[in-house]
Amino acid sequence: MTAFCLVFVMVLGLAAQTSSARSLPDFTELVKENSAAVVNISTSQSRPQNTGNMPFSERQLEQLPEFFQDFFRGPQSPYGQGDPRGQQSPITSMGSGFIVSKDGYVLTNNHVVEGADEIIVRLSDRRELPATLVGTDPRSDLAVLKINDGEDLPVVRIGQSKDLEPGEWVLAIGSPFGFDYTVTAGIVSAVGRALPTENYVPFIQTDVAINPGNSGGPLFNLDGEVIGINSQIYTRSGGFMGVSFAIPMDEAMNVFEQIRDKGSVARGWLGVLIQEVNRDLAESFGLKRPRGALIAEVMVDSPAEQAGLRSGDIVLEYDGESVELSSDLPPMVGRTPVGESASLEVLREGRRMDLDVVIGKLPEDDDIAGVEPQNSGPSEGPLGMTVEPLPAELASSMGVENGVLVTNVARGPALNAGVRPDDVITELDRRKITSVDEFREAVADLPEGKAVSMRIVRQGRATYLVMKP
């Protein structure tokens, strides 16, 4: 009887292992069907340097651990040190990409081909074909290439990244460190990630192993469709640490079609500076929970100003889509065709209202225009700070219409809120501040123990702070 039980338990254990193994995806067919359309991209450029013929661009090299940086840059590097007389020496770099049309259009990252004099695309059958740079979009770090004399080439199938959900299996094919056709797999960790350096790309975060050389390569779903372009990693060591980011394919195809058809990319523009709504700001503006994009500043002559948007408005919806995080708004606006109208639901002074705005074209240089200020009076306040009238010259240089200048901050609510000397206060508890007298009146009316918002301008940038008097 004991022997029978032991055998029975062993059989159950084997069955459980077999069931677990069957639940894991098998990527072999997916790789066989798609690897032919994945390409290795090598570039070269000539410039006066002493870095020699390294296999990585400077940007890629900076992602490597210091040991490897020293190896490739050092005097004993097998890649040489270039001409000591400072003459032009070829600099090479490598990355990945994939073919999206039979006549040879290729998608990759802008930083893979940036500054290249020559671009060579190597296919899985070892053919090496020259390619021409059709156009780039540095804002999304995308580039479009065209293989010269491309005809009847293998292509990938394009999927929809908007359908992605955290937990889905994904697979990458690329050339990390120059090792061609390396396959790595993982899951989608998150979607809609905003990175500090990118405002218009809602990145897909994965735990797929991505390293220098993978840049520009495709990210596949289990149906064999490309749903992202591997672009960046988060690392403290220079190598993979389990956090990778891919450009969603929906965004990438929009950029690709504009570059292919027009040679450049035009993005929608609202003309506002926004910030996140945290718990205290939500309380001070009368929101039940933190959500939306708080408008800290409306630019002069922008679509937002013409539509009647104001600083202190919180955008809750854009064209019917909920704005949960402030980072949700820029991609929504960016993919709206220039000249089209969009509807916004905003919270203003505790009331919800709808506004229509005609989306403009994102300018190359989005400097904020200033307007002439007006002011008067000096004073101290009970919030732990001293304010004075705002000098006209300073107001003009900061692009501020009105406000009061903070000259000193001591212990108290202002210091706790993050107010600093030389900040300009333009709004307190949703009341516009145009003079020291108005500031005094607003402070006197502040509710005790309740979070209130304060709009400040610091070094030309507007932001909202929260304090509890």
CATH number at residue 334: 2.30.42.10
399 and 304 inside one domain: no
The CATH number assigned to the domain holding 96 equals 2.40.10.10
Question: How far does the chain reach from its first CA to its final CA, in angstroms?
Answer: 77
59 in a structural domain: yes
Active-site residue flag, 365: no
- Domain stops at, among 326, 361, 396: 361
212 and 294 inside one domain: no
- Domain stops at, among 202, 233, 262: 262
C-alpha span between 427 and 454 (Å, rounded) = 6
256 and 329 inside one domain: no
Per the CB < 8 A criterion, the answer to whether 27 and 185 are in contact is: yes
142 and 45 inside one domain: yes
Annotated active-site residue in 111, 161, 284, 302: 111
372 in a structural domain: no
Tell me which residue range forms the domain holding 42: 32-147
pLDDT of residue 51: 44
255 in a structural domain: yes
C-alpha span between 265 and 362 (Å, rounded) = 10
6 in a structural domain: no
Query: Bridge partners of 463?
Result: 456
390 in a structural domain: yes
238 and 291 inside one domain: no
Query: Bridge partners of 46?
Result: 90
Query: Is the overall model pTM greater than 0.75, yes or no?
Result: no
69 and 132 inside one domain: yes
152 in a structural domain: no
Q: For residue 419, give both structure tokens.
A: 């107010």
Annotated active-site residue in 161, 215, 244, 453: 215
Mean pLDDT by 10 residues, the chain (469 residues): 53 52 82 94 71 50 52 45 49 87 94 91 92 93 91 92 93 92 95 79 93 94 96 79 92 94 91 87 88 89 92 92 90 91 92 94 56 34 75 78 81 79 85 84 79 84 82
CB atoms within 10 A of CB 314: 23
From 388, 451, 383, 453, select the one nearest 411 (Cα to Cα).
Answer: 383
- Domain stops at, among 310, 335, 361: 361
pLDDT of residue 65: 52
3 in a structural domain: no
Strand, helix or coil at 10? helix
427 in a structural domain: yes
40 and 93 inside one domain: yes
Q: For residue 41, give both structure tokens.
A: 């991209």
pLDDT of residue 391: 79
356 and 402 inside one domain: no
Query: Bridge partners of 297?
Result: 273
104 and 143 inside one domain: yes
The single-letter code of the amino acid at 45 is Q
**Phi, psi angles (nearest 5°) of residue 396:** -65, -45
pLDDT of residue 226: 97
180 and 164 inside one domain: yes
Query: 40: Cβ–Cβ under 8 A, 6 or more apart, which residues?
Result: 94, 95, 96, 121, 122, 175, 180
C-alpha span between 6 and 325 (Å, rounded) = 56
275 and 351 inside one domain: yes
Number of domains forming the structure of the chain: 4
pLDDT of residue 446: 81
Annotated active-site residue in 42, 96, 140, 141: 141
Q: Which helix (H) or strand (E) holds 110?
A: helix 110-113
134 and 45 inside one domain: yes
Q: For residue 203, give both structure tokens.
A: 């990145």
Active-site residue flag, 111: yes
DSSP-derived secondary structure letter, 279: H
Dihedral (CA of 157, 329, 332, 460) sign? negative
**Phi, psi angles (nearest 5°) of residue 195:** -105, 150
Q: What angle do CA 291, 296, 302 make, to 5 degrees?
A: 110
222 CA to centre of own chain: 25
From 365, 465, 351, 464, select the one nearest 415 (Cα to Cα).
Answer: 465
